[in-house]
Structure 1
Amino acid sequence: MTPILPLASLAILVYAASYLAVCAVSPWGRCRRCHGARSHRTTIGTRRDCPRCDGTGIRVRTGRRLLDHIRTEYRDGQQ
């Protein structure tokens, strides 16, 4: 067995754990469509509120959605 495979697996686990820790501490990220600018240009050149983030410029991170889903499932299972 090559020593690279366990190191690669460990690196992936460390990356995933650190991403979930960041999501727990800072659940909001910049909107991918407007890049946090709160608006974007339309095809005719006017500016409008971003429909993806509703003009806030932020979004909930994917990892935070995962943490909330796990927490909800755990809470529902305890009842």
Structure 2
Amino acid sequence: MTPALLAITLLLGVTLCYIAVCAVSPFGNCRKCSGWGFQMRTDRKGRMKRGKDCRRCQATGKRIRIGRWLYNRAARIHRAGTQ
């Protein structure tokens, strides 16, 4: 097997796995709050407590994956073009 063919096969395999992940679980954890929905803060004694709600995910703790966002956008354009 040539290195170019091996690289293409590997890239195709990674792409198909990512498509499967986007189909099964379209939402992932928010990167800013790590899926908590809020930032953790410390009080004056050093104990952890709940901070403000996360503005990026609107306190849901979830975000839409890039692949699913692209699929939704393409489906919306296709649907609008065929009506």
Partner of 2:11: 12
Unaligned runs of 5+ in 2: 45-49
Higher percent of residues as strand? 2
Alignment TM-score, normalising by the size of structure 2: 0.79
SS of 1:29 mapped into structure 2:
strand
Does residue 64 (structure 1) correspond to residue 63 (structure 2)? The answer is no
What is the letter of the counterpart of residue 49 of structure 1? D
C-alpha deviation, 1:76, in angstroms: 2.3
Hey, what does 2:32 align to over in structure 1? 33
Counting aligned pairs with the same residue, the percent is 39
Matches of 2:17 and 2:51 in 1, distance apart?
37
* Structure 1 moving runs of 4+ over 6 Å: none
Output the CA distance in 2 between the equivalents of 1:49 and 1:21. Answer: 31
Q: After TM superposition, give the deviation of residue 73 of structure 1 in Å.
A: 2.0
| Structure 1, 30-39 or 2-11: larger mean CA deviation | 2-11
Among 52, 57, 66, which residue is 1:53 paired with?
57
2-side partners of 1:10 and 1:52: how far apart?
Answer: 36
